[in-house]
Structure 1
């Protein structure tokens, strides 16, 4: 029995390490390592065009040894393709392992969806810019890392479940106070997507008292609100990336302020939309940890 538990621990650890390493390699290709080498250049000020130029220069150097190459080969070096393949295999392996556990079906689905999102981001198929791609990779890898841990440490997470739910509501309340303070004291008028994010934050706040009444519904509310908030954030990042041409018309239907206001930089050299994205990503991770019980176990 101890041998089986040891083997299970190694397989879970291997899956987690494969997901983290492959996603880290993809993030490195997305510009993190490049920004580290080029001191003084902000990671989040670079666009997909700058990455394409880097990839073209890299492929040109390899062209001395390889005369012919396709567009895909020039855009993605061999190690990048290897990282994507490792992430795909890790996603499949993690989903299969989790699905074999009696309480792991939901975790398997979340891992499969998260891995798919991370792969799409690594392939640069999301029109959200480099910062948005890194955020998508982080969001996607989270269930791959948490899934095996939640299965292995069920007793521990059961004891801190209510504390996690209370933490999510507290963080959401602080965030809501902060955004309204920015509106009234910094004169930042919110756009339509900003209001979507505010309603998502309000849903997260309400999830805690709802959970006391009906546990599953409260967690559903928190999870759905975090997902809605992330979708709004990615829409804002897409607008910033495409110079406010993509969804400005939609936003102008509800507010005379363009969604490009999300490009304001308040906490650092990155858009405020990315701050919101990190917040919703953290909330989503906490909800996944609290969402360890199956619906049959809820009250």
Structure 2
């Protein structure tokens, strides 16, 4: 009987304790604001963004600002973002690239604009975004461009603070168009004499990366030669898609292309290509298809 009485005596106190606010209703950590992707454990603080080439229209991207803590913010905050200059890019090149690699460089101000450096994150939200608009038409496909960003201030510093570590985001850009991507090559080439075949053909199969050069042109490597920086001048060629989907075939640099043509099918994603070229005084013709690989 004493045990029962004791339990009944304690029960109201237990129930009263359960009715109080849970500790999880209060912030368990502390609130911070940071740029998404600026953590050096995630690709060394670099975010790579695909930008479509366009001859006349700006292309939009953004950086994301996030809040951290055990609870979402319960009031609006305004975060001011500023550019962090060239030093983070120089540091990245020094730490992660070899001297003979293509180096990242700061994108010139004439190629981008940022309408507003203030990002409002609404109460209850986790993220806010700052738009960045690029004009990529004349940017070179082989150059590595980047911008850098850091948070300079937050509107309620007594409520939420700026994360003190991994503070700078390097946003870099890779360029694409409607035709760039991975393709499967099926084709053949043969020697030509007086405009006709002079012997047996040699088949070629390979996976080829078609790299955007501008809005309508892609670059690829001749036959199945290695897709390396060293081979661009010697074996690079371009395919330009005209309005009627016919193709203009041209050498990128030293490859001796004398004629060429073909078509692109937007329905199937297939390039049908032929071109004549010379090597060591001998004329050859290549003919084949490039079929876009499934994503």
Pick the structure with more strand per residue.
Answer: 2
Greater RCO structure (CA 8 Å; 6+ sep): 1
Pick the structure with more helix per residue.
Answer: 1
TM-score (norm 2): 0.28
TM-score (norm 1): 0.27
- Larger Rg computed on CA atoms: 2
